[in-house]
Amino acid sequence: MPNAISGFSKLTKSEKIEWLLDSYFTDKETARQLVKQYWNTDKKLQKLHDEFIENTITNYYLPLGVAPNFLINNTLHTIPMAIEESSVVAAASKAAKFWFDRGGFKAEVISTTKIGQVHFTYNGDFEKLNAFFEIVKPKLVSDTSDITRNMKRRGGGILDIELRNKSEELKNYYQLHATFETLDAMGANFINSCLEQFATTFKTEAKENLDGDLDIVMSILSNYVPNCLVRAEVSCEIEDLKSKDITNPELFAQKFKQAVNIAEIEPFRAVTHNKGIMNGIDAVVLATGNDFRAVEAGVHAYASRNGKYSSLTHCSIDNNIFKFWIEIPLALGTVGGLTSLHPLVKFSLEMLEKPSAKDLMQIVAVAGLAQNFGALKSLTTTGIQEGHMKMHLMNILNQFEATTEEKNQIVDHFKTNVVTHSAVVEAIENLRS
């Protein structure tokens, strides 16, 4: 067990690596070469990556794939996806092609409001606090003028500030609940800067004009954005669902709808159902330099908004029309953050024809819907493992360091055989013996 280290952040990159090697690795040279192997040969680019976070020692790569043939609101897109999981890009591409021949995806942004809060405690009379808030509210806004000037010039800014009484849930607890429009920026830094100024002004004014002790606890944006919503859908006549692997479209539509209905009422299924949606969403969010952790947190909170965790997608069959849709909160940006720094983020956004934040919301929602359609289509027809394991086959072969000749023979073998991990191991052993 290594000793605790002081001043680690002040060490050079090489010194940090050597400390790690000395503390944790028996084969230091192999570990050292592995770390260096993932450095970028372009020193300027490597320095850029080193400065994204603290204590960097190397780069951690994910594959960047593309899913073509996404027809969204009659515009054709090829969608970038950064993800390591087998079959996700393939499933998205297959779903895109399926719906391309049936009119494509329709998407619309419903609203773009984002939220931030100043959390504080107050031990005095609420009516006096409320009266004080109404008086000081204009000053809260005016004191942020230096922060909001550029955002307001572009059409965004602070939409409203409310005083919320939460003292019945937690003694003496209140909020300044603020709503914002941040346009093409995700807006985290903008929102947090405004909130901290609200807190400073509120605290200062309270000292002079309010009886009782008022204490600011924290000021922070919320990643729950139920009013930053986008909707995406597909629809067609039931007969038009017929394809190579859907020979009975009426039966398929009914089973598909039943699968969605199960996810709507059964949380154990809903979690896996929504995870599949997030396979598509996270991959595009990551490829475009947005915060997939924030998106995940907000999306899953939204899935629980009615008191029970439920499906994010829905399905209907009315008048012989099959409809499948998603309504989801997505706070995304196409300016600021990594969007102007990471070369592959810029590459991905250019591939998407430099979308606005609203455009990107629609594209990401469609990716999630497509992924879910592909998963449910497999589950209700051939089963999920057939396609997934065929995509996973190469990962298993690489684990056993199969040669090119071995890969070709085994891939050919599994064109007509079911892929399972044990079956692949057996095939490798038979081939090598």
How far is residue 249's CA from residue 282's CA, in Å, rounded to a whole number? 31
- 78 burial (CB, 10 Å; 0-12 / 13-18 / 19+) is middle
Query: Do 420 and 365 share a structural domain?
Result: no
Query: Do 360 and 279 share a structural domain?
Result: yes
Q: Quick one: angle between helices 267-287 and 88-100, nearest 10?
A: 90
Annotated catalytic residues are: 85, 275, 291, 388
Asked if residue 204 is part of any domain, the answer here is yes
Q: The CATH number of the domain where 259 resides is what?
A: 3.90.770.10
Residue where a domain stops, chosen among 196, 221, 246: 221
Query: Do 130 and 216 share a structural domain?
Result: yes
Query: Do 91 and 183 share a structural domain?
Result: no
Query: Do 280 and 254 share a structural domain?
Result: yes
Q: What is the pLDDT of residue 365?
A: 98
How far is residue 38's CA from residue 44's CA, in Å, rounded to a whole number? 15
Q: What is the pLDDT of residue 421?
A: 74
Give me the count of residues in the chain: 433
Q: What is the pLDDT of residue 390?
A: 57
How far is residue 288's CA from residue 357's CA, in Å, rounded to a whole number? 11
Asked if residue 69 is part of any domain, the answer here is yes
Query: Do 217 and 72 share a structural domain?
Result: no
Scan for tokens 């593309």, then name that residue. Answer: 66
How far is residue 355's CA from residue 71's CA, in Å, rounded to a whole number? 15
How far is residue 370's CA from residue 106's CA, in Å, rounded to a whole number? 12
Residue where a domain stops, chosen among 349, 365, 382: 382
Query: Do 34 and 177 share a structural domain?
Result: no
How far is residue 286's CA from residue 291's CA, in Å, rounded to a whole number? 7
Q: What is the pLDDT of residue 391?
A: 60
Q: What is the pLDDT of residue 424?
A: 81
Q: What is the pLDDT of residue 382?
A: 74
Residue where a domain stops, chosen among 162, 192, 221: 221
- Tokens at 266, concatenated: 């059964």
The alpha carbon dihedral of 308, 311, 312, 318 has a sign of negative
Query: Do 242 and 172 share a structural domain?
Result: no
Domain that holds residue 403: 387-432
Query: Do 78 and 45 share a structural domain?
Result: no
Query: Do 239 and 98 share a structural domain?
Result: yes
Asked if residue 291 is part of any domain, the answer here is yes
Q: The CATH number of the domain where 212 resides is what?
A: 3.30.70.420
Asked if residue 55 is part of any domain, the answer here is no
Distances (CA, A) of 124 to 88, 128, 134, 156, 215: 55, 8, 16, 35, 12
Distances (CA, A) of 132 to 126, 128, 205, 216: 10, 6, 9, 16
Asked if residue 56 is part of any domain, the answer here is no
Number of structural domains found in the chain: 4
Asked if residue 84 is part of any domain, the answer here is yes
Q: What pLDDT, in 10s, does the model give residues 342-358?
A: 999 999 999 999 999 99
- What phi and psi values does residue 420 have, to the nearest 5 degrees? -135, 160
Q: Quick one: angle between helices 343-351 and 267-287, nearest 10?
A: 100
Give kind and range of the element (H or E) at residue 116. strand 114-122
Scan for tokens 């400390």, then name that residue. Answer: 19
Scan for tokens 């010039």, then name that residue. Answer: 153
Asked if residue 59 is part of any domain, the answer here is no
Q: 293 by DSSP, 3-state: which?
A: helix
Query: Do 171 and 217 share a structural domain?
Result: yes
Asked if residue 167 is part of any domain, the answer here is yes
Parts of the chain with a pLDDT under 50: none
- Tokens at 231, concatenated: 């909707």
Query: Do 128 and 37 share a structural domain?
Result: no
